[in-house]
Structure formats: C-alpha cells, structure tokens
C-alpha cells in the first residue's frame, strides 16, 4: 500500500483529495497543525513534526497554501525534508497561467514550481484553472453593492473533486514533470457565470461588465488563465451551485 502525505489535507482541495486517495487504496496521512483523530500533526512554517510526518511516506501531495510569502519558505523546507526522507515523488498543485499573469500570488506559485524542479525530487506539477468556489466568492463578496460587477474576460472553472481525482491519478503513477494543464468543462464569459450565480442565489441586481487597466487584467483577457485542449473537468458551475 502506498503511504501518501497530503499537506493542506483539511482544505477546500485537500479534503476531496484525501477522500479520493483513500478510495484508490492509499494509506493517507493528513498533515495539520491541529491534533486529533485521523490527523498527522505538523507545521510547515516552523517545520515542527514535518520530518516525522514524512518518515516512511512514499508520496507527498502538496495542497497547502496560505497566499503569503511564507508559502515559498515552507515549500522549500518541505521539499528539502522530503528529499532527506527518501520520498519517492511529490505532486504539486499549481495554477494555469502563472507564468503569464503577474499577480503576486501567481508569482509565489511560480517560484514554488521552480523550487520543486530544482530540488532534485521526482515530481509532477499539475496546473489547474480557477475553482468553482473562487467564482462563487467573486460574486458573493459583492452582496452589499447595488450591482454585480463582471470583468470582461473568460473563465474555465473546475470543480475541486475533479482536480482531486486528477491528483490521485498522478500520485498513483510515475513522476511526470509538468503534466498537461487541466480546466473545467466550459469556457464562459464572466457575465455568463454571474448570471448563472444569480439564478442559483435569487439575486436580481444588474450585472455591469467592466474592463480594468494593467498587465494582470490583460493576461486574463488574453486567455492565459484557460487550459488548452480537451476539457478535463466534468462538473459545471451551475451543478456546483446547486449542490453546494
């Protein structure tokens, strides 16, 4: 049986990833700063408990993220500890377009990719498009506004369960380096996604489409956030909204 450590295993992606890995027969360790049944206690920032968590692990699936500069240091330490522990492969979730869209968070993820490539660890990097939950939050945070703002660009949202299934396949296979990007089943304009969100939530606010200046918006507008090729995800945004 493959022993797999999942960082961020209690998060939005980590939770379905843990379930999918266990269903595939992996002996899963769920890394958490907390202690409790089913959890492997360890702190990526302080490194406390990390060597013990990695001992005997065959695979690491790195889903943890804090959207902070500390992510880079934590990832570098994790990769070094994993190599010392003799981990057979590390699977990293990343984001489509991080090399073309200059968001600070994307730059952090790109640096983490570079650290993994330079670590000497056998690895697979999987970039995915934005999750359904991000599109949901983009609309939900505007609940106090009199209108619903929608940028003039497209998204290809993917469900976390689809990404979890992909990570399970990668964790069960051989290291593949940079895997082909994956995206959701549909590429839709933000205005269309906003209307789908309104239908699901009962919102009646006018939708106002907006354009923004700068290289970040330009990268999205040029489609750098979209995955080329056949869509991977199966669950659509309306299905997500209905079931959430």
Query: Going residue by residue through the chain (244 aa), what tens digit of pLDDT does each one get?
Result: 899 999 999 999 999 999 999 999 999 999 999 999 999 999 999 999 999 999 999 999 999 987 778 999 999 999 999 999 999 999 999 999 999 999 999 999 999 999 999 999 999 999 999 999 999 999 999 999 999 999 999 999 999 999 999 999 999 999 999 999 999 999 999 999 999 999 999 999 999 999 989 999 999 999 999 999 999 999 999 999 999 8
Helix (H/G/I), strand (E/B), else coil: 147: coil
pLDDT of residue 6: 98
pLDDT of residue 69: 81
Q: Which residues pair with 210 in a beta bridge?
A: 151
pLDDT of residue 160: 98
pLDDT of residue 175: 97
Q: Give backbone dihedrals phi and psi of 111, rounded to 5 degrees, phi first.
A: -65, -35
Q: Which domain holds residue 7?
A: 3-243
Please, is 189 exposed, middle or buried when counting C-beta atoms within 10 Å of its C-beta (0-12, 13-18, 19+)?
middle
pLDDT of residue 67: 72
Helix (H/G/I), strand (E/B), else coil: 5: strand
| Total domain count, the chain | 1
pLDDT of residue 230: 93
Residues 44/74, Cβ–Cβ less than 8 Å: yes
117/125 Cα distance (integer angstroms): 9
CATH number at residue 232: 3.40.50.720
Please list, in sequence order, all residues whose beta carbon lies within 8 angstroms of the beta carbon of residue 159, skipping any fewer than 6 positions away: 131, 132, 184, 233, 234, 235, 239, 240
pLDDT of residue 244: 83
pLDDT of residue 66: 76
pLDDT of residue 32: 94
The number of angstroms, rounded, from the C-alpha of 202 to the middle of its chain's C-alpha atoms is 28
DSSP-assigned letters across all residues of 166-184: HHHHHHHS---EEPPPB--
Owner of token pair 């895997």? 179
Residues 238/244, Cβ–Cβ less than 8 Å: no
177/122 Cα distance (integer angstroms): 8
């Amino acid at each position: 049986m493959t022993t797999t450590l999942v960082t961020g295993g209690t998060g939005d992606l980590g939770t379905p990833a843990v379930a999918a890995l266990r269903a595939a027969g992996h002996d899963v360790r769920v890394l958490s700063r907390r202690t409790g049944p089913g959890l492997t206690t360890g702190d990526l920032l302080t490194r406390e408990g990390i060597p013990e968590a990695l001992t005997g692990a065959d695979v690491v699936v790195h889903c943890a993220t804090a959207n902070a500069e500390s992510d880079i240091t934590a990832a570098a330490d994790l990769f070094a500890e994993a190599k010392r522990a003799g981990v057979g492969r590390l699977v990293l979730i990343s984001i489509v377009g991080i090399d073309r869209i200059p968001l600070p968070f994307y730059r952090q993820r790109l640096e983490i990719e570079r650290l993994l490539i330079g670590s000497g660890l056998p690895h697979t990097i999987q970039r995915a498009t934005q999750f359904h939950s991000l599109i949901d939050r983009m609309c939900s945070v505007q609940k106090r506004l009199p209108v619903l703002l929608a940028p003039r660009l497209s998204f290809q949202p993917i469900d976390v369960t689809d990404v979890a299934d992909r990570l399970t396949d990668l964790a069960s296979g051989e290291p593949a380096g940079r895997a082909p990007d994956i995206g959701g089943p549909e590429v839709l304009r933000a205005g269309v996604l906003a209307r789908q969100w309104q239908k699901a939530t009962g919102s009646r606010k006018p939708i106002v489409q907006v354009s923004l200046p700068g290289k970040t918006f330009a990268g999205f507008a040029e489609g750098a956030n979209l995955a080329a090729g056949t869509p991977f995800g199966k669950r659509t945004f309306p299905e997500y909204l209905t079931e959430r």
